[in-house]
Structure 1
């Protein structure tokens, strides 16, 4: 399921309509928010038909006559229901037809002044406070929250960043992991006159981080707009193309388990509390994955190897009188029982139903200070 947001900066030019249609088809988009369309309501259906008959659309003309936001979806793939809309925000519930994926999709198009955006942050905090599902807030915020978010142009002031910082802290959200370009907007100027900034972003809540930890937002080239499209894949995203890490309970029995978790937990650093916890958990995951790889990886192969070794020892003629061979037999039997128990534990855990409740083991509070 490919989902995204793009400030297209006008959708009246036939050539731009063609490029947007090509983008939606090429990227195999399932859900997409098109921002700042500038299409009059009287021309809305005409333009939407040109984008393809498979798309369903909901727009916020009742709140903004200039057609600031269009949310589109492929009805053959997902169900989408808009539950709230205003001049700067559209909130939608998205569910795949097989009901395996469900999340809240919040499209944002922030107004151009700090004062006009005050209501935006209030709306977003209300959405987060009332949301018990995975939620992503994505779009053009027209705001930045750190000095590095702008190249050239006026210096970044504290007044520009304060509201977004407050929203992140009060809403307990973090910026979604991203890839691709860093700056999402450019004035397309020449030389030192070119100004670039990161004003298009995506924020996610704790439920999103739990359910979609590997999802990254891809910042693509601007194309026919001066803003980057932001897209992500909810179904096929896997970090570095690898399988997701699954905690095996047998790790708890290793002598280095507690020290490994405690050391990794202490490494995470971040100024925002929610992101701090997220970074610490990622550090713990990496450390436990390394511990599993070093000591328990491919346990079934170890069992097979020990079976062959035990059979070879027991086939030796001198086993009836050579004490050294008898000791080797005893040690091999003990190792076989040990690794067989580990292999059984891993198999039992893998055989459980995927949808069962997962238990997260966290070190005691005293060890994490």
Structure 2
């Protein structure tokens, strides 16, 4: 989508406001236009409360069969959505981009655990209706497709893959190009009890690539969640030139803000009345931009580096999950990331309100 991406994420319960706020921030930072939260455990009024409090300007859908399991959300000014079919294991929708001719079908999956229930999912997915040809399927399938889809615990058995591979062999879709973590779920336990599995996947058909030839999925870990997020990027970001000036209220809380403003405000300007005020504001705008880069920019950089280090530590631990050194490095990286995220969160809240 034009400057907006697609999200699929098993969030394993989002009743707490802290998790809801973190999801809102994540969607803003990753330019999510439409997505699905899986295993939300939210029902009835709880869904409305979250959307009203944290997702202003977004629409949502959850069916009676999948309430608490799949919550479809989208920005009302970005896309229009029509749900075509749903069950306790998926939501299948027609999506039209507003202001463009692009339209496609999008299915979000949260599979059940038993073989019989998974077989029903594959049968349902093979019988979906399509008003347009481009199709993307994303979600937590709770199923393995290959022998290397699990690390730790019991080995993958051939019978676990039969139905999934049979659905793949129909030829309706194949996997979208993906970067990031290979495994998408972990039980987060220590030492020899640690297990990794690849349960979350993104599939597309050929018509999808005709519509979004540069699309790819980015899969990685984020903070406390035991499932990776899956962000489907549809286009390459373009450089649109100089960004407009935006004032962030959080600047006023910085210890050096007042002094910076006063020092530059009292400098003489050869003008009078409203023209003098206008020139002072123009000059102050440039001063505050430099202030943001020098002071606030450091916080952003530290947060980004801390997050990348934590994600890298998680990926390294997957390669040798029983290594005591790697486990210590993961815990240390998580601690640094947690402390930096507290400073960064106030900045994100301000930026979210402005946009």
Count of paired positions? 235
Task: Please give the secondary structure, in 2, of the residue aligned with 1:50.
Answer: helix
| Partner in structure 1 of residue 167 of structure 2 | 167
| Partner in structure 2 of residue 6 of structure 1 | 9
Contact 1:215 / 1:237 at 8 angstroms: preserved in 2?
Answer: no
| Partner in structure 2 of residue 58 of structure 1 | 61
1:236 Cα deviation from its structure 2 partner: 2.4
| Partner in structure 2 of residue 108 of structure 1 | 109
2: CA distance between counterparts of 1:111 and 1:147? Answer: 20
Residues 95/131 of structure 1: CA separation in 2 closer, same or farther (3 Å cut): closer
Task: Please give the secondary structure, in 2, of the residue aligned with 1:108.
Answer: strand
**TM-score for both structures, normalised by structure 2:** 0.63
> Which runs of 5 or more residues in structure 2 are unaligned?
239-355
| Partner in structure 2 of residue 203 of structure 1 | 203
Task: Please give the secondary structure, in 2, of the residue aligned with 1:81.
Answer: strand
Kindly name which structure, 1 or 2, has the bigger radius of gyration based on alpha carbons. Answer: 1
| Partner in structure 2 of residue 214 of structure 1 | 214
Contact 1:5 / 1:139 at 8 angstroms: preserved in 2?
Answer: yes
Q: Which runs of at least 4 in structure 1 moved beyond 3 Å after TM superposition?
A: 129-132
Residues 164/237 of structure 1: CA separation in 2 closer, same or farther (3 Å cut): farther
Task: Please give the secondary structure, in 1, of the residue aligned with 2:126.
Answer: helix
Contact 2:10 / 2:140 at 8 angstroms: preserved in 1?
Answer: yes
1:222 Cα deviation from its structure 2 partner: 3.4
**Pairing of 1:119-158 with structure 2 (within 5 A):** 119-127=120-128, 130=130, 132-158=132-158
| Partner in structure 1 of residue 348 of structure 2 | none
1:133 Cα deviation from its structure 2 partner: 1.4
Could you report, residue by residue, the CA deviation over 1:275-306 in whole angstroms, capped at 9, with x for unpaired residues? xxxxxxxxxxxxxxxxxxxxxxxxxxxxxxxx
| Partner in structure 2 of residue 253 of structure 1 | none
1:220 Cα deviation from its structure 2 partner: 2.2
- CA RMSD for the aligned pairs? 1.7
Among 14, 36, 39, the residue aligned to 2:39: 36
| Partner in structure 1 of residue 75 of structure 2 | 74
| Partner in structure 1 of residue 24 of structure 2 | 21
Residues 174/36 of structure 1: CA separation in 2 closer, same or farther (3 Å cut): same
1: CA distance between counterparts of 2:130 and 2:160? Answer: 27
2: CA distance between counterparts of 1:28 and 1:132? Answer: 25
Could you report, residue by residue, the CA deviation over 1:105-153 in whole angstroms, capped at 9, with x for unpaired residues? 10000001111111100111112x7464110000000001101111001
2: CA distance between counterparts of 1:24 and 1:211? Answer: 23
Could you report, residue by residue, the CA deviation over 1:238-263 in whole angstroms, capped at 9, with x for unpaired residues? 9xxxxxxxxxxxxxxxxxxxxxxxxx
1:16 Cα deviation from its structure 2 partner: 1.1
> Which runs of 5 or more residues in structure 1 are unaligned?
239-369
2: CA distance between counterparts of 1:52 and 1:173? Answer: 32
2: CA distance between counterparts of 1:172 and 1:47? Answer: 36
Task: Please give the secondary structure, in 2, of the residue aligned with 1:116.
Answer: helix
| Partner in structure 2 of residue 187 of structure 1 | 187
**TM-score for both structures, normalised by structure 1:** 0.61
Q: Which has the higher contact order (CA 8 A, sep 6+)?
A: 2
1:192 Cα deviation from its structure 2 partner: 2.0
Contact 2:217 / 2:230 at 8 angstroms: preserved in 1?
Answer: yes
